[in-house]
Amino acid sequence: MGNLNGKTVFITGASAGIGAATAFAFAREGARLLIAARRHEKLASLAAELKEAGAIAVHTLVLDVRERATVASAIEALPTEWKTIDVLVNNAGLSRGVDKVYEAKIDDWEEMIDTNVKGLLYVTRAVVPGMVERNSGHIINLGSTAGEQTYPGGAVYCASKAAERAINDGLRQDLLGTAVRVTTVDPGMVETDFSLTRFRGDSERAAKVYQDVTPLTPEDVAETIVWTAARPAHVNIARVLMTSIDQANSLLFNRKQQVGTR
């Protein structure tokens, strides 16, 4: 698919879910992978598997995107051969809780906004100047159907994804006149640890989210991400909004053949 062979792809939140699936999808294209996440052990085992899957080289970066100073210094300190980033996949993100705004834990808000909005910005700020200088590159942000339509209990998570969409659109305008591309890939329900994280390890509650419905898989999203990156250099896919066949939008699902809300 396109010529991604030998391209350096930087993926945040790469240790699991969509991030890990995206790393494998780029590995199969013969990319060089710079994988970042908070958990070192996960990254180390993933690195070996990615090489087996076809990655030309893999470099791991233990990184919490919420740490502004560390993000800047870690990217600045990358070995020379990893400094030329061709594709940045801003995937790190999470949700916490489904509480009503007037009852929610403020720490949950901080974590979502710090990761999904500020973290994405910190990484973007550190990586994009090099792309502009080289007049080459592609930023692919992970948005969500949640950024397009808010659902009950999701106000702050949805707000963080609406912010991602605004940043994506603003960045594309800021980069007009350069050859740097900007894309947001906005999936609906994807079966990952997303709900387990949202419900802080309550697996029964998390499983209910995917009950009687066929969600997207991380691989579905990963393939779409790689497809956007593999378009010819003059083609910028601005946005891909994608759901499984059992989801119409943020609010409407087909569960057990009965159309209903979340």
Site residues (vs ligand 8X3, CB under 6 A) = 144-146, 154, 188-189, 250
**For residues 60 and 195, which CB has a smaller minimum distance to ligand 8X3 in the complex?**
195
Give the β-pairing of 258-261 and 252-255: antiparallel
Phi, psi of 224 (to 5 degrees): -70, -40
CB distance 218 to 192 below 8 Å: yes
Residue 13: CB minimum distance to ligand 8X3, A: 13
- Measured from the CB of residue 178, what is the shortest distance to ligand 8X3 in angstroms? 29
| Distance separating alpha carbons of residues 14 and 1, to the nearest angstrom | 21
Residue 126 or 158 having the CB closest to ligand 8X3: 158
CA distance 15 to 11: 9
**For residue 80, what is the DSSP state?**
G
Question: Shortest approach of ligand 8X3 to residue 98 CB, angstroms?
Answer: 9
258 contact partners, CB below 8 Å, separation of at least 6: none
CA distance 148 to 168: 13
**Which one is catalytic: 102, 151, 157, 210?**
157
Give the helix/strand (H/E) hosting 178: none
- Number of helices (H), then strands (E), belonging to the chain: the values are 9, 9
* Nearest CB to ligand 8X3, comparing residues 91 and 124: 91
Q: Is 157 annotated as catalytic?
A: yes
For residues 145, 18, 53, 87, the Cα torsion angle rounded to the nearest 10 degrees is: 70
- Chain centroid, CA 208 distance in Å: 23
CB 18, min distance to ligand 8X3, A: 10
CB 188 → ligand 8X3: shortest distance, Å?
Answer: 6
Q: Whose Cβ is closer to ligand 8X3: residue 8's or residue 95's?
A: 95
Residue of closest CB approach to ligand 8X3:
144
Q: Which of 52, 53, 54, 35 is nearest to 44 (CA)?
A: 35
Any bridge partners for residue 253, and if so which? 247, 260
In the complex, the smallest distance separating the C-beta of residue 145 from ligand 8X3, rounded to whole angstroms, is 6
Nearer to ligand 8X3, 8 or 90 (CB): 90
Nearer of residues 87 and 189 to ligand 8X3, judged by Cβ: 189
Active site members: 157
